[in-house]
Every structure is written in structure tokens, then in C-alpha cells.
Structure 1
Amino acid sequence: MKILFVAPRFHTNQVQLIKKLIEKKHEVIFHAASIGPTEDHSIIKPAQFKQSKLSLVAEKLFGKGAATRRNYFPQLAKYWRTFKQLKPDMVVIRDPFKLFSLTVAIYARLTNAKIIFYTQEDINRYRSWRTLLKQKGTIRFFKAAWMSPVKTSPESVNNGALKYMYYVPLPVIVNGEEKNNNNFSGEAPRILMVGKYHQERKKHALFLQALHSLKDRYRFSATIAGECATPEQQLNYRVIRQEADKLELNGRVEFKQDIPYNKMAELYAAHNIFVLPAINEQYGVSVNEALGYGLPVVCTDTCGASFNITNGGNGFVVRSNSLEELTSSLEILVSDQQKLHQMHRQSLQYARENLSADVFYEKFSQLVLDRFSIVMN
């Protein structure tokens, strides 16, 4: 099957699913509005297209929308010729309400390609009547399916998931215990946080304050890794470093910049605990990546991936902006090696059973069968 993916950029959270589809002998193509600084193109190289002059005007008037490129679209006639020549069997489109996405969806409809929209939203979330109408209408008009890697307990919802909306996890690497460098032989626990340096909502400062509260009572080291490619990111990086110095965390915290995707495995495997204190995190694939390396995870209740965490099992979910809860959760992990080891095993088990590439492919194949009556190999 020839599958075209269309997105603002080739995000790292798509690497493993693309890899699995290629492994299953599907032909996969990726069209992107832009290229990110830490992307891994070893398995697929995204194609970019010359921007339409109308799109340039729209971006000048209404903004680019940062990495989302909401107002980007290519030269329409030229892209139509490319699309017709490519003639994909299926198109997976990131967020149908961007101009590029709508362009591709219309072209796919005209060529009878199967359409799957992809967003990172809780499939069971409450929807206003306007949102319901908008999403239902989009699915019906394009005869599409809709998938998301986020779900909550059905008991917590008011109006439930839409028809033809499916939960499909974004797969992550799941390492066997024997391949992990995580050890519990009495060494000081190593804590990892990953978050772009320019985003205040990632809460680097809150994490540093939690470490400061614990540094005189427990042995540990920490690493903060993040994208630092723009002037804004570089400015905020310096501010965060200054905060670490002020809190006397020299020698306890190491800072890393612009780690390429193919080096992230080494980073996860070299640590014992993962922390994502970010608020309003739409998804947070790093939570799942960490689970795949057996790291217990501490994240907030406004992180989209928090449904993967069981308190006291494979990590802790803390209240957003709560220094007290963040500190107390970290304290449990750095003070009890036996507990840490137990949670390490539970993290691995959860990832194997819920987040592996095989689980993704099973869910994706079921979606395709249910919506389009197509059996994938």
C-alpha cells in the first residue's frame, strides 16, 4: 500500500510508526511544510514544496503559527500535478484544519485516496456542539477516519468519542531489560528532563526548584536536554542556566542542547527517572519514550500522555505547577532504590503491552479494516 503522510514537519514522534509501516512492506512518502533542526531522516526524507504566493501573503497577515505553519500551502497547480502522479492509496493528514492539510484532503478526495486525519486530542474529551458539528462534518465530507494517541477513561466523559475516531498509540522503542544501562547498584539515581528551552510551560525552573529542595538530603544527578536552535531558545537557555547557578546546582545538573533523535536512545538508557513538569502538554511523546527504556515517569495532570502513568506503579502524575507534589514524587524515587527498581520493571512491561510498534500496527490495521474494509498485510 502506498501511504502519504502530510504534516507541518517530520516530528520525532512519527519515526517509529513510519519505520513499522516500511518494515511491513508499505511504500511510505512524507510531505512537510518545514524541516526541524533535530529530525532523523535516516529512514525517510520529507519532501518540501515551493510555497504559494497567496500563502506567503496569508503568513504575513496572520502569522506563521510557529512550527505548526497553519497558513502554509504549496503552489496549488504544481502540487496537484505532483499528487496525481504520486497517486497514494491512503493519506494520513496531521490536523485537518490547516491550509496545507485541507489542500491535501481535497486532492485525496478527488483521487479517491483513503483519508485518515490525525490529531493529538483526547478521543473521549467533552466537545461543544460546534466542535462536534465541525469534526463530524469533516469526517463525513471526506469519508475519513480520525485517529489520536490520547485517551482517558470513558467514565470521565460527557459525550464520548466520535464515530470513526480511533485510539492509535504512537509507537516507541521498547528495550529489553538486558539492553538498558539503568542500574540499581547503589549509584546515585540519574534524572532526565526533556523540553524545548524557549517554552516557559515546560517548567524548567520548577524542576530546578524541586531539585534544590532535595539536593542536601539525597544523592542524585540530573540532565536537562532541549532544542536550542533559535535566538529565543538560546536566550532562555542562558536564563535557565543562571537559575541553576543561583540554586547552587553546579555539579548536579548537566545541560544538553539539540540532541538528534538518533542519540536520544543513549540519553534515556543512561538515566533512571524521567520528569516532564510541563503544563498543557498536548501529548508528550517523551513520556512514552522514557517508559520504553524502563524509566518511571513523573508528569503533570495536564500532559496528554499522563493516562499512561499509574501513580506508584510506573510513575506519578502530579498537579500542574505544584512544586510540593513534584518534589515529593521525586523524593520517593531518589530515596528508595528498591521502589525505583520495581517501577522500572513496571514501566517496561507497560510499554511492551501498550506502546510497542506491534501494538501500533495492530490498532492501525483495525482502524483501516473497520473504516475502509481493507485488510493490511
Structure 2
Amino acid sequence: MRILTSAGHHVSVDVVETGATENHILLSPNVVTPSALSRRVMLRRPGGIPNSPFSFPGLASYWRHLQAENPDVVIVRGVTRWFCRIAALCAILQRRKLVIYDQEDASPQAWSGTWIRRSVFRQFGISHFTSRLPSYPGAVGAGGAVPLPFGSPFEPIQSGKLQGRPLHWPPRILMVAKYRERKGHGLLLKALSAISTSGPFSVTFCGEEATHSDTAFCQTLLQEAQALGLADRLQFQNNIAHDRMISVYASHDLVILPSLAEPAAISPIEAAWAGCAVLLSRDSGTRHYLPAGPTFDFDPDDPQDIARAIAGLIAGPENLRLARDACFTRISSIANDDVILRLFETFGHGAVRPRMTMN
């Protein structure tokens, strides 16, 4: 949003609901009202599902909304959610440029589900882009998608000020993630326990504590930390508004995300832009935003391998300083503002200032 609006493009975002920690400084999303049919469908589905995939506006009402917005390009988040299907149908019937965004491999295996879906849409002139970067750059094939990396959420001048900032020592470790089992909080605690005698460090868990289950999860993590002898090194910083996150990253130097099968992890990218060294799971969808090699990744199923990676970066101040510089150098070369802007503008080719609606 920051990159597009700074370049003079008009951007609107349509959603079914907003989150407590979202940053709406640049623009306020349009929250659509679910149709009567959608509400009936959701009553038959398990309750308490955030951002329900069965929440969608009426076809006629969204048709009118899209006509009033009059975008040159409509971007939908996949085609599995009913809201995205409604938006895609309206865009096609109104003869607007439609682009589908997903978080799958840029070059998936031939005849896989992702490959077939993209190939079919390509036959109708509908392209895909993905937040994942390919292992090896190359032409987009029939079942491929244009790699469009996540850009920096921070103003360039903010990121510039954070590069080369003084190192915190003993090391301050940060994990930013929802309180869900698959994110790997417990695995990180086990890994840190394995190296706890090697020297002092602290760890911060930062997430959204919005439900009773979130609170219970935090209590369980605290109990695990106590059992592992890490309670005095652990703190929580929950419900931090996104526009304040840059100060959280700036107060740490190493960000770790041991999440299992994470399609597109955002926090490691933000951390790299904020001048932190980053470690994340080898199978993460955003692994290629970081430098290559085992120094910057680990096996998320193996606490000992996580411990190995952490120990290498916090062995001394120079190790951590070099890792911070390497992460920033890598991400600034493949996801800078100019790269992002040029890729987005290819979707609106032919429009002087493309108007984009995103779902």
C-alpha cells in the first residue's frame, strides 16, 4: 500500500473483517456486509472462525460497489474463499483486469493442483502472482506465477536509520507469530534450553492475545519456560499495533520463526527491513528472501537443529552483526520499492495511474 500510494496510484481494499493490530494509517479497508445467504451458510459451519471463508457479499451489491469504485485492476486472494469468487466473477463480467494472488510455489510441479489451476486460468487471460520467490529465476511457465515479493512496510528513511544501529548484548531474541501450535513457540523454547548454559540471552514472544485460547496458550508457554529454566529470560509483548512494531524490531537483533509449513511469513521480512538478523524454517514460503545456506535456516521438526542455527549467530557480537547486514543486503536487493512498483504496474499496463481493488 505504501509503495503504490506513494507513486500516485489509487488503491482500495475490500475485506470481510479487520484485525485489532492492523495498520490502517495509509488507508481504511472497506468492510463488506455478508449477504443473507452467506449468514445462513456460516450458521451451519463451525463457529469462531476468523475471516470466515464462507463470508461473502451479495452478487448484486458487490457488482454495484465495483462499478462505483471503477478499478483498472482487481486482485483477489486465491479462488477458494467465496468473497474472492464473487469479486472475480464481477471483475470478469465487467471486463476488468483480474489477477489472482496466491502463496504457492512460483514454479510448481507439473500437473499438481496448483499447476493445473493456474494453467486453466491462464487460458482465459487471467494471470497469477505469488509472494514466493523461485529457487532459480526464470521464465514463468504455463502453471507458474509471477514472483512479486513483499515490500518493506517501513519508509526507506526509517529502514535506513535502523541499519548499523548499536547491537544489543546479551542477545535479544524475538518471535512474532500468532499463538498457534504450528507456529513452533514450544520448539523454540526447547532449542533455547539446549543452549541456555552457553551464555545469557533474552527472548520475547509477540502476538495477538485476542481470545481466551490465546491467553491460555501464553500461560502454557510460560509454564513450559519455567520447566526448562527459561522463565526469567522470557517476556510477552502482545497486541502491539502494527505501526508500533518497528520499535519492537529495533529493540531486538535476532528474529526467529520455527513455524511448520508456513506459506508466507511476514514477520521475518519486516524484521530484515528493520535491521535484524533472521532465522526461519527451511520449508517456509519466504525462505528465499534471506541469504542462502544453513546459517539462516533450520529443520523446524528438530529443536537441536534450531539450537545449532541460533548458537551460530549468537556466538559473538560480530557473528550477529554480520548476519544482520547479510539479511538486509539480501532483502533490499530483491524487494526494494522500485522492484515492487514495476511489478505491480505490469498488472495495470496501459493505465497511466492504475486503480486497484484488492480482496
Q: Same fold by TM-score, threshold 0.5 exceeded?
A: yes
Are the equivalent residues in 2 in contact too, given 1:224–1:255 (CA < 8 A)? yes
- SS of match in other structure, 2:13: strand
**Structure-to-structure mapping, 1:334-373, within 5 angstroms:** 334-369=314-349
Change (3 A) 1:160 1:62: farther
Note if contact 1:171-1:360 (Cα within 8 Å) is conserved in structure 2.
yes
Displacement of 1:98 in angstroms is 1.6
- The count of corresponding residues between Structure 1 and Structure 2 is 351
Q: Distance in 2 between matches of 1:65 and 1:131?
A: 29
User: Which deviates further from its counterpart, 33-42 or 173-182?
Assistant: 173-182
- 1:207 is aligned to 2:188: yes
Aligned counterparts, 1:295-334, within 5 A: 295-311=276-292, 315-334=295-314
CA shift digits 1:173-210 (9 cap, x unpaired): 3555543584237x21111111111x101111111112
1:50 aligns with 2:30: no
Find out whether 1:252 has 2:233 as its counterpart.
yes
Partner secondary structure for residue 188 of structure 2:
helix
Q: After alignment, is 360-369 or 259-268 more displaced? A: 360-369
Q: Distance in 1 between matches of 2:87 and 2:161?
A: 44
Mapped pair 1:146 → 2:125: no
**Partner residue of 1:11?**
none
Q: Distance in 2 between matches of 1:130 and 1:177?
A: 41
User: Which residues of structure 2 form unaligned runs of 5+?
Assistant: 355-359
Seen in structure 2, the aligned counterparts of structure 1 residues 130 and 333 have a Cα distance that, compared at 3 Å, is closer
What amino acid maps onto 2:81 in structure 1? K
- Shift of the alpha carbon at 1:66? 3.1
Q: What secondary structure sits across from 2:129 in the alignment? A: strand
Q: Spell out, residue by residue over 1:309-355, the C-alpha distance to the aligned partner (whole angstroms, 9 max, x if none).
A: 33569x52111211111001111111121121112111121122112
Instruction: Name the structure 1 match of 2:72.
Output: 89
What secondary structure is seen at the aligned counterpart in 1 of 2:235? strand
Q: Cα gap change, 1:121/1:163 in structure 2, threshold over 3 Å: closer, same or farther?
A: closer
Secondary structure of 1:123's counterpart equals coil
C-alpha distance in 1 between matches for 2:46 and 2:39: 10
One of 165, 173, 180 as aligned partner of 1:191: 173
Q: Which residue of structure 1 lines up, in the alignment, with residue 357 of structure 2?
A: none
Contact 2:313 2:323 in 1 (8 A): no
How far is 1:283 from its partner? Answer: 0.8
Shifted more, 48-57 versus 168-177: the winner is 168-177
Aligned equivalents of 2:211 and 2:234: distance in 1?
23
- In structure 1, the gaps of 5 or more residues are 1-17
Q: Which residue of 2 aligns with 1:5?
A: none
User: What displacement does 1:59 show?
Assistant: 1.9
